[in-house]
């Protein structure tokens, strides 16, 4: 019964990585390359919080900075 046709969605954000769309099915579509996630309002908010927490954790933890540079150093 769900309808995800293009005329039922509004693009909220778009980048080379993918895009986020609000859909008349009541949820959000998150397109990342070949993957599409269908999320409820609660799920979308939860995912945004989860990613923000992950980024904050990474920024706060100097240990991980060695991961981004280590491979190219000898």
Question: How far from 22 is each of 7, 9, 29, 43, 67, CA to CA, in Å?
Answer: 11, 5, 6, 13, 35
The correct pick among 4, 19, 22, 48 for binding Zn ion (CB under 5 A) is 4
How far apart are CB 45 and Zn ion at their closest, in Å? 17
What sign does the CA torsion over 37, 4, 2, 10 have? positive
Q: Tell whether residue 23 is a contact of Zn ion (CB under 5 A).
A: yes
Q: Tell whether residue 25 is a contact of Zn ion (CB under 5 A).
A: yes
Between 40 and 53, CB nearer to Zn ion: 40
- Given the rule CB under 5 A, which residues bind Zn ion? 4, 23, 25
């Amino acid at each position: 019964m769900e309808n995800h046709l293009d005329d039922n969605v509004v693009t909220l954000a778009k980048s080379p990585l993918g895009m986020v769309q609000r859909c008349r099915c009541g949820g959000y579509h998150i397109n990342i390359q070949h993957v599409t996630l269908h999320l409820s309002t609660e799920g979308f908010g939860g995912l945004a919080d989860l990613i923000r927490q992950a980024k904050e954790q990474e920024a706060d933890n100097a240990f991980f900075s060695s991961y981004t540079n280590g491979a190219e150093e000898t």
